[in-house]
Amino acid sequence: MWWVIAVVAAVVVVATYLTWLAARVDRLHARAAAAYATLDAHLVRRAAAAVALAEAAQLPTLMYAAKIALDAQPDDREVAENDLTRHLRGGLKAPPSDVVDSLVQISRRVALARQVHNDVVRDALAVRRRALVRLFRLARKHPIPAYFDVDDPSLS
């Protein structure tokens, strides 16, 4: 009779652990989605500030790069943001103004949001690689999160 109690206790412990693990997988993927949304919002703000700077400083190549970054599809986003960063580094030779200062602050926020996003993605991918998560397919309803690898967008 004692072995029945031991088997039931073992099943309860395993079920509790799997439930906790499934909730953790869900939380990490929700955090990854929220981090990407935050990063996207900061990237849009940076591109809009770059358009304002390009209009004020009469820089057509910067304006073109910023508009491409605003209109980029998710697959082409990293390339467009790298191009915008290159143009911003080359186009910030103007004397400091309110537009340049706000662009520098927004770029720092983009760098921080990118770092947070990549950290959360790393954690989500690590939990997806665990044997029990793969065996019980606990992450099957979530798309695989991806890193956002761009050149460091912070400007000095």
Give burial (CB, 10 Å; 0-12/13-18/19+) of 60: exposed
Query: Residue 35 has which token pair?
Result: 């981090």
Over residues 95-105, the mean pLDDT reads: 81
C-alpha angle 123/152/30, rounded to 5°? 30
How many whole angstroms separate alpha carbon 105 and alpha carbon 56? 18
What is the percent of the chain with per-residue pLDDT over 70, rounded to a whole number? 96
Task: State the pTM of this model.
Answer: 0.89
Give burial (CB, 10 Å; 0-12/13-18/19+) of 127: middle
Over residues 64-88, the mean pLDDT reads: 93
29 and 120 Cβ atoms separated by less than 8 Å: no
Over residues 120-130, the mean pLDDT reads: 97
Q: Backbone phi, then psi, for 155, in 5-degree steps?
A: -110, 150
Nearest residue to 70 via CA among 37, 47, 91: 47
